[in-house]
């Protein structure tokens, strides 16, 4: 039996514990980043062996009850001092208890976290597409979707109402995510799971509403960050912005340097040009009941989501990255959502600083 505190040592011959975490949210391009690290930069990172989703052990969210032996055992023993174990469960960011458990059980000071962010609207729509492509055989997903006639636009509308109400009741930024993430059962707000609301457009009442909320709460990056910052120091994080990465992979991936060099390893950014590997590109044209939104329709839905759900969170991201990392190049996701969109003063300021 492996003891819970075994990860506090780094001795060769003892258990190698994962120390590099590749976090999302999901659908932010984490598979492409993983491939860039291992294929383009030829970084030898140790993955767990013998557990179902190798790259994503999902221990600190879904499989915690399988125990530490299951998780740590899968990484084997340390062969050298600079060996690095990686856990690329992007989804840890969607669970408030994940950083609590990581801090409690791992060698917290040693850890580094790569966190990727993407326009939360595009991300949510990508997850919706993913569910149509891969998740509709789960009965609870089908039932949750059925109430909305399987439509992303309807889900957005009702999820925005519920989540915005929760955020209003939640208090200061660090409190928002634990109170309002998709499986939250806070005093401030009853759980989404038991949130039964009548959908006017379909004449049905919601079931498994937490499944719907998940699409949208996973994009509240600003609040996710202020939650993780309760457990780890800013120096332990390296941020990637999906849109920047697509536009200029090399200069965006350069932000990973401190998180890699921390382990005595190098990524050579000077000599090679890097193309971001294409991974998990989804096509759902023939998915049954799939609401394929035109660019224009997604902009209409997205403008409301940004205005009513993401605005403060997005601002928090930009402010955190500017103040803590001196970064002013975080994409203004809201700006793509149509003319007439009123930027608040502080966002306008960010825009000027970023220009």
Residue 182 near residue 210 (C-beta atoms within 8 A): yes
Burial of 153 (0-12, 13-18, 19+ CB in 10 A): middle
Q: Which stretch binds ligand PPS (CB under 6 A): 64-72, 99-107, 272-280, 343-351?
A: 272-280
Three-state secondary-structure class, residue 205: strand
Cβ 6 to ligand PPS shortest distance, Å? 28
Q: Does 218 bind ligand PPS (CB under 6 A)?
A: no
Backbone angles phi, psi at 183, to 5 degrees: -105, 15
Tell whether residue 29 is a contact of ligand PPS (CB under 6 A).
yes
Instruction: Compute the least distance from the CB of residue 190 to ligand PPS, in Å.
Output: 29
Within 10 angstroms of residue 292's Cβ, the number of other Cβ atoms is 12
Compute the distance between CA of residue 347 and CA of residue 345 in angstroms, rounded to an integer.
5
Give just the sign of the alpha carbon dihedral 166, 91, 19, 39.
negative
For ligand PPS, which is the closer residue by CB, 281 or 355? Answer: 281
* Residues 278-307, interacting with ligand PPS (CB under 6 A): 278-282
Q: Is 89 in the site for ligand PPS (CB under 6 A)?
A: no
Stretch that binds ligand PPS, among 29-37, 62-70, 193-201, 319-327 (CB under 6 A): 29-37
CB of 36 to ligand PPS, least distance (A): 9
Shortest distance, CB of residue 116 to ligand PPS, whole angstroms?
7
Q: Does 31 bind ligand PPS (CB under 6 A)?
A: yes
Would you say how long the chain is, in residues? 355
Residues 111-150 vs ligand PPS: string with x where CB under 6 A?
---------------x--xx--------------------
CA-wise closest residue to 30 among 118, 122, 119: 118
Q: Which is nearer to ligand PPS, 121 or 184 (CB)?
A: 121
Give the nearest distance from C-beta 231 to ligand PPS in angstroms: 23
Q: How far apart are CA 13 and CA 142, in angstroms?
A: 48
Q: How many Å apart are CA 92 and CA 99, to the nearest integer?
A: 8
- Give me the residues that bind ligand PPS (CB under 6 A), please: 24, 26-32, 90, 126, 129-130, 246, 276-282
């Amino acid at each position: 039996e492996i003891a819970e505190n075994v990860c506090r040592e780094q001795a060769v011959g003892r258990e190698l514990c994962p120390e590099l975490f590749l976090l999302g949210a999901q659908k932010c391009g984490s598979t492409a980043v993983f491939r860039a690290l291992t294929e383009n930069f030829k970084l030898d990172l140790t993955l767990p062996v013998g557990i179902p989703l190798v790259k994503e052990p999902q221990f600190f969210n879904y499989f915690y009850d399988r125990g530490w032996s299951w998780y740590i055992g899968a990484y084997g023993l340390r062969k050298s001092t600079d060996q690095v174990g990686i856990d690329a469960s992007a989804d840890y960011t969607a669970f408030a208890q994940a950083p609590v458990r990581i801090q409690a059980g791992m060698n917290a000071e040693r850890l580094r976290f790569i966190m990727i962010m993407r326009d939360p609207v595009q991300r949510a729509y990508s997850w919706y597409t993913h569910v149509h492509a891969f998740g509709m055989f789960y009965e609870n997903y089908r039932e949750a979707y059925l109430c909305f006639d399987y439509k992303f636009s309807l889900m957005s509308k009702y999820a925005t109402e519920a989540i915005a109400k929760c955020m209003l009741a939640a208090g200061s930024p660090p409190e928002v995510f634990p109170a309002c993430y998709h499986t939250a059962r806070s005093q401030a707000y009853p759980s989404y799971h038991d949130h039964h609301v009548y959908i006017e457009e379909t004449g049905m009442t919601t079931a498994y509403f937490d499944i719907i909320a998940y699409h949208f709460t996973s994009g509240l990056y600003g609040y996710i960050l202020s939650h993780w910052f309760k457990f780890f120091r800013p120096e332990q994080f390296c941020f990637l912005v999906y849109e920047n990465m697509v536009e200029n992979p090399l200069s965006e991936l350069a932000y990973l340097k401190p998180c890699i060099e921390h382990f005595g390893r190098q990524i050579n950014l000077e000599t090679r040009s890097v193309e971001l590997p294409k991974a998990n590109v989804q096509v759902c044209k023939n998915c049954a009941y799939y609401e394929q939104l035109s660019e224009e329709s997604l902009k209409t839905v997205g403008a409301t989501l940004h205005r009513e759900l993401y605005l403060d969170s997005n601002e928090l991201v930009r402010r955190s990255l500017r103040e803590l990392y001196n970064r002013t190049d975080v994409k203004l996701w809201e700006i793509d959502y149509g003319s007439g969109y009123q930027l608040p003063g502080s966002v306008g300021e960010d825009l000027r600083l970023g220009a």
